[in-house]
A and B are shown apart, each in its own frame.
Chain A
Amino acid sequence: MAPVDISFLVFFRVALGVLLAISMERFLAYGWVDQLLLAPSFRFKYFGFHWVEPLPREQLLLLFRVLVGLGLAVAAGLCFRLSAILLALGLSYIQLIDVSTYLNHYYLAALLAWLLAFSPAHRARSMDAWLGRLWARACGYAEPAPVTQVATAFLWLLRCQIGLVYFCAGLAKLQSDWLLYAQPLRIWLGASTDLPLLGPMFTWPGVPLVISWIGFLFDTTIVLWLSRSRTRPYAYALVLLFHTLTRALFAIGMFPWIMSACALIFFPPEAAQRLWMGLARRFSSGAPGTTPKRASASPFARSALVRAGLLVGCLYVAFQVVMPFRYLAYGGNVLWHEQGMRFSWRVMVRAKGGTVAFLVKLPDQERKVFVDPNTYLTSFQENEMAGQPDLILQMAQYIGREYEAREKRPVEVYATARISLNGRRAAPLVDPSVNLMTVRDGLGPASWILPAPTEAPPLIVPVL
């Protein structure tokens, strides 16, 4: 495959670096470092990452400030390889601290940061490139030739990643709650009926269902329209409109802006270069530059290192394709049992909450001790735990170990969890007769999670 203009990668580097810097600054500005990462006395752990703990407060705050700087350094292409890898490491670390803070767009940000870190995005229009030329001049060497092209694989890797996010988010809406009952959109639109012009429209009969279908069709087809030259400009305008509206309606942070920037990956790789040259012509009196011609495939593409890189890239894409669909191995309603929920781009598809209480049965005693999880958890964590059975299991086993340390004997721990999904009446989520101390968390189907309620969600009406 012929190399392509590097402009797209440079733009991606700048946009992502700036957006990630803003994202880290938001964490600092809103006090979320304290609230979400430091305040909890108990943290939910990812499978295999139990050893990850938050840094002491001053160091964690410093880490976030450093990440802001690293985002800007990545944008500028300064010490790019090091700053990009450190940025990706930092983002990953933050997410691994507590499962209850998982968000799809945090996951996406980390993935994109890693992809960028192993790309040659700094080879052009970067501080590193400029410093390289300065150094060569200072040492009397010949200046390195400007890099204008990059392997096509990088373009397609990013397109696959972004495309999968959209498409899988669309497929996540291919279910009756969303397409037949417009849930949970009915509930969410009801909170925005005071928006000028649009708000009252949400109360019109049928509008929530229409908006549900628009969301579904947008997510599942937008990549197609962005990929075709004739429809691309209109499709991108739609992207901007869609993400601006979702930002106005929902508290989804940086996700709309990240996706709006990432959607530009579907434009031709030289489009950025054409744009810059056009602007340069408009604002300077110098001779116009020329659009670089496409080169033919070079022997470089056939080296062993490149082939290995291609293999890794293919494996990465395969992994990203398979992960969102692993829920099929468990059956049932993934929105209920959550096995296969994370890392699958199920963005804004459920309203789920409830209450969980734990009962500890001490040895040789009939009665059970009621344990309220708010003893251990912040209200944020408690809210998140309620709908996620694996977090309920972690909490139960932590409580059990505490009692066992005190009693010096095994105890039994049971959970009563009543959860509402998309407006339905609360129903039991886990089997209250199962001693959770005997359950081993793993990848297999969890028999202690009860089936989802079968009744349809209520047709909640947005009210003025």
Chain B
Amino acid sequence: MNLLLLHSAKPRPFGRLLLLGFCALVPFVACRTPDPRPGLGSSGGSTTSGTGSGGKGSSSAQGTGGVDFNVGDGGDKGDGGLGGTTGVGTGGGDPGPVSGGECTAPPVSSEDFSKKLLLESAGACSAFQACQFSDAAFELGRQVTLYADEPSDEHLENARAAWIEAAEVWSGASPSQFGPVAGVSSDQYHGRGIGAFIHAWPSVNRCEVEKQVVNRSYEAGFDGILPSARGLSALEYLLFYAGSDTVCSANSSAGQVWATLGSDEIAAAKRDYAKSAVADLYLKAQELVNVWAAGGENFGATLASHEGYGSEQEALNVVAWSLLYPYDYVRDLKVGPLAGMGTALPNPISPYAQIDLETIVANMQAFRALFQGCGEDGAGIGFDDWLVAAGAGDLATDILLALDDIEARASTLPPLHLASSDEMAVFYADFKALSDLLKQQFFGSGSVLNLKLPAGAASDTD
């Protein structure tokens, strides 16, 4: 176009300048236009994250307590499932979405494999896991409320047992880092970081919990309270740590208030915060149930149609990145520091209840559910079916064998805080064998399914 003007007999400076301006705009306009494959080449985050970026507070304006855990009626377990009668009472503030009903059996499909079916199955499995956790969170709420209202050794033991159960159930759900439960670093399209409010590990902070214990800002609502001061990690500290010391600096406001309280006052304040924190936890669990509920956000349909992901392959990429959980989190953050491998400092997921090994076992059950199938012993549709359909069944077999080795090894280990570094080194090697298989042929440039590594590797290619 500019050549036409330049070719004319008389110079037209205004026209040339206009054209130059147009040419200057073209690259910016063109580059703002999405590439034909939206979702690729993004500048999003890199690793799967169990904590996401939930930020400060949430939208649930929950007051102190605020959820009726049926404590006074003899202890019927509330239903946290999808649909049916509500198990949530009212108290101060918004009780959150209404849900109820029994959790259905784990979804197991016997249809022929398709990628859409894989997305559907992954979503259905996450919905089932959310339901299970909601049940466990309700029972935890009931036991913690009982303990808070009538403190006794028996009620404390029951509350601790309920916490362990809830933590193990969550460990079986938390590796599924896609959709609203995930942070934006794991799912930049639909991540909302709900998971961070349920369990903030590895970003836990005991001082933040102790601040809430003494300053009681939670009584005005949980908006503005950091994930590191809430959820399962906070409840573990409140239920399992019997000491009356604080890690907050003596010069801090929390430290100064703490110093004025006697041990009985501290214990009572911890029980009060536990009662509110468990209600907040339950509301988050219900939020998660609502994400998947057909009458709620129905994210399962969104996932199956890869809406917002740009392409079916990109949706599968995001779901598949959950399979890196054993590599990013278990191997490098849980086992590695105990084995003297890597650079991460020891940061146990369960420093007080000391159920790290049980959480790892549950993590690997979640891996099997996503990779092999959500049903018992891996029945159902999983990524292994995709490998088999694509003609790479050998790789599926190798991955499952590596998974079996990990589970077998875990069954022989003592609690991690009692295990020797040599035992941890061998356990680490088991995880390395699995993660090597994933990185050699399942993900990345050598992937037989063309599954990309998380977005930190995005670029043009040739």
Contacts and interface: CB of A to CB of B under 8 A. Distances in A.
Interface of A: 10-11, 14, 18, 21-22, 24-26, 29-32, 34-36, 68, 71-72, 75-76, 101, 103-105, 125-127, 129-130, 133-134, 187-188, 190-194, 247-248, 250-255, 272, 276, 279-280, 283-284, 286, 289, 347-348, 351-355, 370, 372, 375, 378-380, 383-384, 386-387, 418-421, 423, 425-426, 458-464
B412 to A, nearest CB: 23
Given A14-B3, A192-B313, A247-B36, A103 B448 contact: no
A464 B26 contact: no
A460 B114 contact: no
B453 interface: yes
B312 interface: yes
A243 B16 CA distance: 32
A206 to B, nearest CB: 15
B7 A379 contact: no
B2 interface: yes
A10 to B, nearest CB: 6
Contacts of A105: 460, 462
A72 B27 contact: yes
B43 interface: yes
Contacts of A272: 3
A252 B440 CA distance: 22
Given A191-B450, A463-B114, A103 B460 contact: yes
Given A18-B27, A187-B447, 18 more contacts: A14-B2, A25-B28, A31-B43, A188-B450, A191-B313, A254-B460, A351-B446, A380-B457, A380-B458, A383-B457, A386-B445, A419-B446, A420-B440, A423-B448, A458-B448, A461-B391, A462-B390, A464-B115
A418 B30 CA distance: 41
B243 interface: no
B448 A36 contact: no
A419 to B, nearest CB: 7
Given A353-B445, A419-B446, A22 B440 contact: no
Contacts of B24: 72
Contacts of A18: 23, 26-27
Given A72-B27, A187-B447, A370-B341, A276 B7 contact: yes
Given A75-B23, A190-B390, A380 B456 contact: yes
A187 B451 CA distance: 10
A286 B306 CA distance: 56
B156 interface: no
Nearest to B441: A420
Contacts, number: 206
A105 B461 CA distance: 9
B390 A463 contact: yes
Given A75-B23, A280-B4, A460-B390, A420 B446 contact: yes
Nearest to A422: B446
Interface residues of B, number: 67
A24 B28 CA distance: 10
Interface of B: 2-4, 6-9, 11, 16, 20, 23-24, 26-28, 30-32, 35-37, 40-43, 46-47, 113-115, 306, 311-313, 341-343, 386, 389-392, 394-395, 435-437, 439-441, 443-450, 453-454, 456-462
Contact of B7 (A24, A125, A127): A125
B306 to A, nearest CB: 8
Contact of A463 (B36, B47, B389, B446): B389
Nearest to B36: A248
A103 B462 CA distance: 6
Residue in B2, B113, B435 with the greatest tally of chain A CB atoms within 10 Å: B2
Contacts of B114: 463-464
Nearest to B341: A370
A149 B371 CA distance: 65
19 contacts: A22-B27, A32-B43, A36-B459, A190-B450, A194-B312, A248-B36, A253-B41, A254-B460, A286-B9, A353-B439, A379-B47, A380-B456, A420-B441, A421-B446, A423-B441, A423-B446, A458-B391, A461-B389, A461-B390
Contacts of B454: 379
A379 B456 contact: yes
Contacts of A279: 4
Nearest to B461: A251
A418 B436 contact: yes
A458 B392 contact: yes
A380 B453 CA distance: 9
Contacts of B462: 103-105, 252, 255, 347-348
Nearest to B449: A190
Counting chain A CB atoms within 10 Å of each CB, the highest count among B113, B386, B449, B460 belongs to B460
Nearest to A22: B27
Contacts of B440: 353-355, 418-420, 426
B3 A251 contact: no
Contacts of B449: 187, 190-191
Given A29-B31, A353-B439, A378-B456, A130 B461 contact: no
A71 B27 contact: yes
B459 A101 contact: yes
A379 B30 contact: no
Contacts of B2: 14, 76, 125
A188 to B, nearest CB: 6
Contact of A383 (B8, B342, B444): B444
B408 to A, nearest CB: 23
B37 A248 contact: yes
B4 A276 contact: yes
Contact of A460 (B30, B312, B391): B391
B46 A193 contact: no
B441 A425 contact: yes
A283 B15 CA distance: 15
B16 A127 contact: yes
Contact of B445 (A133, A352, A425, A462): A352
A355 B436 contact: yes
Contacts of A347: 462
Q: Can you list the 7 inter-chain pairs with the closest CB atoms, starting with the nearest?
A: A353-B446, A31-B43, A253-B460, A353-B445, A420-B446, A191-B450, A194-B312
Given A190-B390, A383-B453, A383-B457, A26 B31 contact: yes
Nearest to B43: A31
A284 B450 CA distance: 53
Contacts of B341: 370, 372
Contacts of A255: 460, 462
Contact of A35 (B113, B343, B456): B456
